[in-house]
Amino acid sequence: MKKLLTSLICLGQFANAQINKNLINNTKVLTNVGVKLTEKKSTAVMTNFDPVRHGFKFANTFNGIDASHRYGGLCGGMVYTQLDYYYANMPIPQQTYAPSNRYPLQSYIYKRQAKSAQESNADRWAELGFNPGGARNNEFFGWGIEMMRPGDRMNELKNMIDNGNPAPLGLFHTDDAEKYGYYKGGDHQVLAIGYDFGRYKGDKGQYIEDFKIFVSDPNYPNEVKTLVADPVNHMFYYLGEENIAWLTYFVNSNYDKMTPLAIQNLDNNKTLYLKVETGKDDLRGGNDNLAVTIVYRDGSKQVFPNVNVSATWVPMYSEVVPLNLNRTVNSKADIKQIMLECSFGGGFNGDNWDMKKIAITKNDETNVILKVDGTIPRGGEQIVKRFTGDDRFMTFDIN
């Protein structure tokens, strides 16, 4: 049970596209019948939630550890956090990078992930998880296309959307996806912001091709995705994204509002962004941490101790940390050196860390202060440096 609930997978795919305005506006369909033209009005019902305005600008690429559980992503936490900002009528943080492990926004999203995955919906995930050999596949799929009784899934969704409330959804994986030419979507959480059932009556009868749920997916920032049903193979998939499929969905009506963090936007003229990719050996955190020192052109120094805030930087994952400067930096010409120091103690049980890549940029990633990829072979990959208790320092000359 615990293993099921703490292993929710949130796919790390993302794309950049404009919202399809036809989901919200009336859609014209022109058909030639002699000289007669007909116009079909959209039957979509939408909430006021706009992924561009109310959603995060970064994708759900989380793979870090905070507190006691590690998730494959923080999709549910992002959904709940977006709703927190939406209902509080507060501007959502505008950063375009996923916050680093245990930084305030990441910790808040993590806390909301635990709430969405384990506290609010434990019974839903457990119910769908009891399906020996796929014996209940048809039943579970059917739940998602029924609207005959008050408690049916489609009615739950319709009632929330009709009242102007975006509806968190849980998407449950299917083991049969690849059999029918789909990619197996992991257990996932998204936010339904509208629907269009068209002529379909929720009776498992004709016109099921009209069934559509419009969602804001943490894996696809700034987009509206359209979830549709495959009645032949009994699964749900994104229109235009037929490679990703789920067995069924449930509507989470247990969302509780929380007051989100008030996070100020950074001064881009006085901020650098440190991006570090860890190799196969992690940065442990605790007492084993990373400090960064910037040596300015005039020789003065600014030290950023413990940039990982004592958190673990997990293997094969990139962390992005903002460095708030005490002066304006326009380009690399303003910086002389960048120095790294790890606080490893060495000896038995001492930490070692493989740094695979490092980059320091301004807010525009094309304004690069430092960028170094690994060239040293280690464990089948190329790293920049292996930090140990006996080798804790590294200096990069910029100018």
| One domain for residues 279 and 244 | no
Q: Considering the domain boundaries, does residue 259 fall inside one?
A: no
Q: pLDDT higher for 191 or 185?
A: 191
Beta strand ranges found along 312-387 (DSSP E) = 318-324, 335-342, 353-361, 368-373, 376-378, 381-383, 385-387
pTM: 0.88
Both structure tokens of 219: 């894996």
Q: Considering the domain boundaries, does residue 257 fall inside one?
A: no
Q: Which of 225, 251, 277 is at the close of a domain?
A: 251
| One domain for residues 99 and 220 | yes
Give the residue numbers spanning the domain of 376: 268-397
Total domains in the fold of the chain: 2
355-370 as b/e, with b when 16 or more CB fall inside 10 Å?
Answer: bbbbbbbbbeeeeebb
Mean pLDDT of the chain: 88
User: What pLDDT does 121 receive?
Assistant: 85
Q: Which of 251, 283, 312 is at the close of a domain?
A: 251
| One domain for residues 321 and 207 | no
| One domain for residues 187 and 106 | yes
| One domain for residues 236 and 334 | no
Q: Considering the domain boundaries, does residue 19 fall inside one?
A: yes
Assign residue 291 the CATH number of its domain.
2.60.60.20
Q: What phi and psi values does residue 258 have, to the nearest 5 degrees?
A: -135, 155
Q: Considering the domain boundaries, does residue 113 fall inside one?
A: yes
| One domain for residues 217 and 285 | no
Q: What is the residue-wise DSSP string for 59-105?
A: ------EETTEE-S--HHHHHHHHHHHHHHT-PPP--SSPPPTTSHH
| One domain for residues 312 and 239 | no
User: What pLDDT does 329 receive?
Assistant: 94
**Cα gap 319→137, rounded to integer Å:** 39
Question: Band of the pLDDT at 348, cuts 50, 70, 90?
Answer: confident
Q: Considering the domain boundaries, does residue 327 fall inside one?
A: yes
**Cα gap 177→185, rounded to integer Å:** 8
115-127, pLDDT tens digit by residue? 998 777 889 999 9
Q: Which of 116, 165, 170 is nearest to 143 (CA)?
A: 170
pLDDT, average across residues 57-77: 81
Q: Which of 105, 86, 85 is nearest to 95 (CA)?
A: 105
Q: Which of 251, 286, 320 is at the close of a domain?
A: 251
Q: Considering the domain boundaries, does residue 262 fall inside one?
A: no
262-288, pLDDT tens digit by residue? 998 899 899 999 999 999 999 999 999
User: What pLDDT does 69 receive?
Assistant: 62
| One domain for residues 243 and 379 | no
| One domain for residues 244 and 386 | no
pLDDT, average across residues 13-23: 35
In the chain, DSSP finds a helix count (H) and a strand count (E) of: 7, 22
Q: How many CA atoms lie within 13 A of 319 on its CB side?
A: 24
Q: What phi and psi values does residue 226 have, to the nearest 5 degrees?
A: -115, 115
**Cα gap 370→367, rounded to integer Å:** 9
Q: How far is CA 76 from the centre of its chain?
A: 9
Question: Band of the pLDDT at 63, cuts 50, 70, 90?
Answer: confident
pLDDT at 362 over 70: yes
User: What pLDDT does 231 receive?
Assistant: 96
| One domain for residues 207 and 87 | yes
User: What pLDDT does 61 receive?
Assistant: 94
| One domain for residues 201 and 96 | yes
| One domain for residues 228 and 286 | no
pLDDT, average across residues 61-89: 86
What residues form DSSP beta bridges with 334? none
Q: Considering the domain boundaries, does residue 260 fall inside one?
A: no
Q: Which of 78, 74, 63, 245 is nearest to 172 (CA)?
A: 245
Q: Considering the domain boundaries, does residue 8 fall inside one?
A: yes
